[in-house]
Amino acid sequence: MSLRYLSIYSAILGIVFVFPLLIVVAVSLDPGDYIRFPVSGYSPRWYIEMWSNQTILLALKNSLIVGVTSSLIGALVAVPAALVIARGGRFMESVVYPFFLSSFTIPWLVYGLALLFFWGAAGLDLSLTTLIVGHTVIAIPYILRVTLAVLRGMPPNLVRAARICGASPWQAFFSVTLPYIRSGLVAGISFAFVVSFTNIPVSLFITTADNITLPIAIFNYMVNNFEPMVAAISVVQVAMIGIILLAARKVGRVERS
Amino acid sequence: MTTRRSVLKMLGAGGALAWGGGSLVHAQGNSVTITSLGGKWEQSIREHFIPLFKKRTGAEVRVVLGGPSQWSAQIEAQPNRPPLDAVDNSELLAIALKDKGLVVKLTSDKVPNLANTPDLFRKPFDDYGASYQYSTSALFRNRDKIPQEPKTWPEFFERAAKGEFGRSITLPDISYPWAPHIIWHFATVLGGSVDNLDPAFEALKKIKPYIVKFWSTALEVERMVISKEVDIGYLWDGRITAMMGDKNPALAFNRPGPNSLVTLSPAQVVKGGNEKLAFEWVNTLLDPEPQLQYYKLINFTPTNSKVIIPDNMKANIMPLSEGVTPPYPELAKVTSRIVDRWNREIRG
Amino acid sequence: MTRSSTDLGQLARIVLLLPATIIVVVGYVLPSLVLLALSFGIIPGKWLLSEATTSHYMRLLGDIYYLRVVGYTLFLGIVVSVLTAILAFPVGYYLARSRSRLTSLYAVLTFTPLAVGMNMVTLGWMIILGKTGFINALLLQTGAINDPLQLLYGWGAVIVAMVHVVFTFMVLPIEAVVRQIDPSLEKAARILGAGPIRTFVEVVLPLSLPGIAAGFLIVFLQVCGAFVLPLLLGGQGFTLMPIAIWEQITVSFDKSFAATLSVALILISIVVMLLQMRIMREKSLV
C-alpha cells in the first residue's frame, strides 16, 4: 500500500471529523445567550464565566481523578490477568477470559443504575469511590483486550530465552514482556482514560454533590440551556484530553533502531 | 528502563490525585444537601437562594445537579441514610416519595413562608411538598409566518391538521418526563379525561405529518426556534419569554384557552436527612425576595403571593384561575400505558 | 513440548488473576445480579417481601413494538461497526507504518471525536445538518437545491454522527495490531509477485484481524449503549434500546421493565461477543 495515498486519505478524514468540532469552537466564542450559527460575534465571555463556576471546576478536578485512577488501577489488575490468559488453556479461553470481558456487555446507562442499587443495598455512601470502582470495571476489558491482542502475537521464545539466560520471572517481565506490550498497553490505558473522562451514562445515576464529573456537568447544562458555555466547557475538555493523550503517545511509541 | 520509570511516575500522579480526592468528603453536621437543574437554574440557586440561606443559618449548602428521576432513585436506594436532605422534585415523583413515606410533611411553624404559598402549589402534594415556581403551557410562534395566534387548543389542532402551518411544528416527545401531563391536558381540552385519552391521541395522529421533530430536551426546541426550523410549537411560557426580544423579533407567544397546564417543582424534605436545615432550605425557596430574582433571570413565575412583580413584567403572568393541574395519583397509574400507546400509535 | 521454563505455577496464576477477579465480582457481577433480580420484579433491599414474576419478560416478548426496537438496535450496531471498520483501517495502518513527523498530528485528529465526547459531536452535527446549517447553506448558495433539505432527525444523521463518535475506538486497536506485523512480510509478498491488493488480502488483513475484531466489538457495544446522540439526532420512526430503557426510568418510572429491557440488551451483546470470539478462533486455525 502506498503510504502517500493513505496519508491523503487520513488527512481528509481527519478534516471531516475535526470540522464539527471547529464549529463548536466558533460557537463557544459567541457572546450571545443562545447557540446560533453563523455566530453573532467573538468574545471570551463564556470562558471567563466558566472559570468562576465552582461546579465546573469541581467537575474538572473529579474527572481527572476518576479518569487517571480508574485507568491505572485497571491496568494494574488487567495486565497480570492478561499474562495468565495469554498462556492459554481451555479453561482460560472459555471461562476466565469471557468472565473478565463480561462487564463490556452491559449498557452503561443500565450499569449506572445497577451500581446505584447495589451501593444502596450494601449500605455505602455514593462518593468518588463509587465512580472510580464503576469506571475501573469498564476500563478492565478495554485494557485486557488490547494487551492480550499484542501478547498473543508475541513469540513465546522471547521470555523463554530471557529465563534461560538467568532472568527471574520479574526481570523477564520488566525487560522483555513489558517493553513488547508497551504500545498496546498504553493504547488500552488511553482508551480507558478517555472513556472515563467522557462517560455520561455510568455516572449519571450516581452523581452527588461531591463527585460530579465534567461530561455530567456539560450534559446537565446542555439539556437545560442552549448556551454557548457548553461549547466552551467542551473545548477545554478536548484540550485536556489532547494533552494527556499526547503524553501517553510519547510513552507508548516504540523506538525504532 | 524508561518504561518502568514513566509508569511509576504516572502511578504516583494518580495516587496523589486519589489522595486529594479524600478531602472532598465534608462533615455532614452543619450542611444541607439540596438539588438543582443545571445551567441557569443552578446559577439562580447559587446567586439568589444560597446567600440568603447562609445568612440565616450559617450552614453550608451542597448542590447535587441532575434531574428528578435521578434524585428520587438515589433516595429510594438509600432510605436509611438518604444522600439528599431536600429535593426539588417533579410532580409524579413527589407523590411517589410521599406514598412511600420517604418525605416529611411541611408545616407553617417550620416553614413560615408556606402561609403565603397558594393551595394550587402545595395541596396536590398534601403539604408533603411545595413548589417555589411554576410554568404554564404555551405556544411560541414565528409571527412573520403565522400572524394569527391560535386562540384555543382545539383551534391549534384543527388548523395544524389542515396543514395550515405546513411541516413546521414541534411538540414534546414521550421521552420528555412531562409528556404524560401534556397528553392529559390535550385530552381534557379536547373533551376527554384521565380515563379517556383518545381525543389527545386522535389529534396527535392527525397532525403528526406536520411535525418536524418531537422534542425531548429544551436544547432541541431552543435550537429549532433560534435557527427558525419550526414556526410554531409547544413550550413553557418562561422559556419562550426568555428567548423573546431584540435578537428574535419575530418570536411571539400566547396561552391558548380554555385553560393552561401548570407544571410545578415541589420542594420536599427527605425523611431521615438533616430535616431541620432542609425545612429552612424549603422556606428559603419559598421566600419572596430570592423568588423575584429567580423570576428576573429565568422567567418562571414565583409562587409566593407576597412577591411584587415589576409592572413591565406583569403582562406575561397567567392569572391563577386559568391554570389547571392533572389529578396526579390517577395520572401516575396510567403513565406506563401512555408511554406504550404513544410508542404504538405515534411512533408506529 | 516442555513449557516448564515459561509456565506459571497454579499459585502464581491465582495471585495474578485475583485483583481483577475481585474488582469484576464486586463492581460488576453483584450489581448485575441486583439488576437481574429487579427484572424479575424483586426489589433490592426487600428481597423477602417481593414476589418473583416473569411478567416483564412476557411483556417484552409479546409486544411487536419492543421487538422492533431490538431489531433497530441490532441494525444500527452492525451498520455502524462495518462502516467504521472500512473507514478506519487505512488510517490505523497509516499511523502504524508511517515514519512521518505528521503521524502525531493525524493521531490527534483521529482522537478528537472521542475526546470531545458524545455531547459535543451531537451538537456539532446538529449545527452542520440543520435547515439553516452549513451543508444546506452551501447547497443553497451553489444552486444545487432550491429548498433546504431535511438532513437531521433520521437514520442518516444518526449513522454519520455515530461513526464519527466511535471512530477512535476502531483506529486504536487496528494501529496497535498493525504495529506487530513485520513489514518485511509484506515486502516478501511483493517480491514474490503479489500485487498490492493480494498482499493486503492475503497478508495484512488476516494478520490484523484480532485488532479489527477488537474494534468491531467495542464499536458495536458503544452503539448499543448510546442514548444522547440517537435521542437528539434521531427521528420518530425508530426507537433504540437505550432510549426505551431511559423512557422506562424517567417517564414510566418502571424500573423493573427497564431492567428487563437491559437484560435483553446484555444478552444481545453477549451473543455478539461469543460470535466474534468464535469467528476469531476459526480464523486463527487457518
SS (H, E, C) C117-152: HHHHHHHHHHHHHCCCCHHHHHHHHHCCCCCCCCCC
CB spacing of B179 vs C249 below 8 angstroms? no
Residue C175: its pLDDT value, please?
87
Question: What pTM does this model have?
Answer: 0.82
CB spacing of B41 vs A224 below 8 angstroms? yes
Of B301, B275, B277, nearest in space to B288 by CA:
B301
pLDDT-derived band of residue C46, with 50, 70 and 90 as boundaries?
low
Residue B11: its pLDDT value, please?
40
CA atoms within 13 A on the CB side of B181: 23
pLDDT-derived band of residue B19, with 50, 70 and 90 as boundaries?
very low
For residues B114 and B106, the answer to whether their CB atoms sit within 8 Å is: yes
What is the spatial distance between Cα C45 and Cα B78, in angstroms, rounded to a whole number?
Answer: 9
CB spacing of A220 vs B33 below 8 angstroms? no
For residues C28 and A137, the answer to whether their CB atoms sit within 8 Å is: yes
Inter-chain Cβ pairs, chain A and chain C, closer than 8 A: 302
DSSP 8-state assignment for residue B139: E
B81 touches A: beta carbon within 8 Å:
yes
Residue A169: its pLDDT value, please?
81
CB spacing of C126 vs B223 below 8 angstroms? yes
pLDDT-derived band of residue C81, with 50, 70 and 90 as boundaries?
very high
Mean pLDDT, chain B, rounded, equals 88
Please, what is the end-to-end C-alpha distance for chain C in angstroms?
21
Nearest CA in chain B to A118: B77
CB spacing of A120 vs C273 below 8 angstroms? no
Partner residue opposite C266 with nearest CB, options A15, A105, A187? A105
What is the spatial distance between Cα C4 and Cα B16, in angstroms, rounded to a whole number?
Answer: 41
Q: Which residues of B touch C133 (CB under 8 A)?
A: 227
Residue B9: its pLDDT value, please?
43
Residue A202: its pLDDT value, please?
86
Nearest CA in chain C to B80: C45
What is the spatial distance between Cα B217 and Cα A43, in angstroms, rounded to a whole number?
Answer: 27
The beta-strand segments (E) located in A30-133 are none
Q: What is the pLDDT of residues C154-177, one digit of tens each?
A: 889 999 999 998 898 888 888 888
Buried b (16+ CB within 10 A) or exposed e, C167-182: bbbbbbbbbbbbbbbe
Q: What are phi and psi of B254, to 5 degrees?
A: -150, 160
CB spacing of B69 vs C252 below 8 angstroms? no
Residue C66 pLDDT > 60:
yes
Inter-chain Cβ pairs, chain A and chain B, closer than 8 A: 140
Residue C29: its pLDDT value, please?
92
Residue B179 pLDDT > 70:
yes
What is the spatial distance between Cα C248 and Cα B266, in angstroms, rounded to a whole number?
Answer: 22
CB spacing of C249 vs B73 below 8 angstroms? yes
DSSP 8-state assignment for residue A126: P
For residues B186 and B203, the answer to whether their CB atoms sit within 8 Å is: yes
Buried b (16+ CB within 10 A) or exposed e, B137-168: bbbbbbeeebeebbeebbebbebbbeeebeeb
SS3 B323: strand
pLDDT-derived band of residue B27, with 50, 70 and 90 as boundaries?
very low
For residues C108 and A246, the answer to whether their CB atoms sit within 8 Å is: yes
Partner residue opposite B218 with nearest CB, options A62, A212, A224? A224
Give the Å distances, CA to CA, from A119 to A110, B76, B85.
14, 12, 18
Residues 138 to 197 of B: which have CB under 8 A from any A CB?
none
Q: Which residues of A touch C107 (CB under 8 A)?
A: 245, 249
Residue A139 pLDDT > 60:
yes
What is the spatial distance between Cα B348 and Cα B161, in angstroms, rounded to a whole number?
Answer: 18
C117 touches B: beta carbon within 8 Å:
no
Interface predicted TM-score of the whole assembly (ipTM), two decimals: 0.84
The crossing angle, in degrees rounded to 10, of helices A3-28 and C103-129 is 50
C252 touches B: beta carbon within 8 Å:
yes
Cell representation of residue A58: 469541581
For residues B142 and C213, the answer to whether their CB atoms sit within 8 Å is: no
Q: What is the pLDDT of residues C188-198, one digit of tens each?
A: 888 888 777 88
CB spacing of A223 vs B38 below 8 angstroms? yes
What is the spatial distance between Cα B268 and Cα B131, in angstroms, rounded to a whole number?
Answer: 9
CB spacing of C249 vs B176 below 8 angstroms? no
Q: What is the pLDDT of residues C206-216, one digit of tens each?
A: 888 888 887 88
Give the Å distances, CA to CA, from A154 to A144, B190, C177.
15, 72, 11
Torsion-angle region of A224 (φ positive above 0: left; ψ -120 to 50: alpha; else: beta): alpha
B101 touches A: beta carbon within 8 Å:
no
Q: Which residues of A touch C110 (CB under 8 A)?
A: 10, 13-14, 17
